[in-house]
Structure 1
Amino acid sequence: MSVPDLISLIAPIAEFCAGKDVDTALMAELNRRFPGDGPDFAAIAACLAEGIDAGDFCGKEAGGIRFSRPAKPSAATFEFSVDVVAYGDLAGPHHIHPTGEIDMIVPVDEAATFDGHGRGWLVHGPGSGHRPTIAGGMAIVLYLLPQGAIQFTGA
Structure 2
Amino acid sequence: MTKQAFHDRIAALTAQLAGRPLDAELDRWLNASHGPGSAVYEGIKADCLAGVAEGWACEREGGGIRYGRVFKADDALHRFSVDVVDMQDIAGPHHVHPQGEIDLIMPLEGDAQFDSRPAGWCVYGPGTAHRPTVSRGRALVLYLLPEGKIEFTKGASQ
TM-score (norm 2): 0.95
Q: What corresponds to 2:113 in structure 1? A: 113
Look up the SS of the partner of 1:109 in the other structure: strand
Runs of 4+ aligned structure 1 residues displaced above 4 Å come to: none
Q: What corresponds to 2:137 in structure 1? A: 137
Letter in 1 for 2:95: H
Q: What corresponds to 2:148 in structure 1? A: 148
- Are 1:89 and 1:137, in contact at CA under 8 Å, matched by a contact in 2? yes
Q: Distance in 1 between matches of 2:110 and 2:13?
A: 24
- Are 1:108 and 1:140, in contact at CA under 8 Å, matched by a contact in 2? yes
Q: Distance in 1 between matches of 2:32 and 2:98?
A: 26
State percent identity of aligned pairs: 44
Look up the SS of the partner of 1:85 in the other structure: strand
Q: What corresponds to 1:86 in structure 2? A: 86
Q: What corresponds to 1:24 in structure 2? A: 24
Q: What corresponds to 2:59 in structure 1? A: 59
Number of matched pairs: 155
Which structure 2 residue ranges, 5 or more long, are not aligned? none
Q: Give 1:63 shift.
A: 0.4
TM-score (norm 1): 0.97
Q: Give 1:3 shift.
A: 2.1
Q: Distance in 2 between matches of 1:65 and 1:149?
A: 20
Q: Distance in 2 between matches of 1:105 and 1:12?
A: 19
Which structure 1 residue ranges, 5 or more long, are not aligned? none
- Are 1:101 and 1:124, in contact at CA under 8 Å, matched by a contact in 2? yes
Letter in 2 for 1:5: A
Q: What corresponds to 1:5 in structure 2? A: 5
Q: Which is worse superposed, 45-54 or 94-103?
A: 45-54
Letter in 2 for 1:45: K
Question: C-alpha root-mean-square deviation of aligned residues, in Å?
Answer: 0.9
Q: What corresponds to 2:128 in structure 1? A: 128
Q: Distance in 2 between matches of 1:4 and 1:141?
A: 19
Q: What corresponds to 1:99 in structure 2? A: 99
- Are 1:2 and 1:56, in contact at CA under 8 Å, matched by a contact in 2? no
- Are 1:103 and 1:122, in contact at CA under 8 Å, matched by a contact in 2? yes
Q: What corresponds to 1:49 in structure 2? A: 49
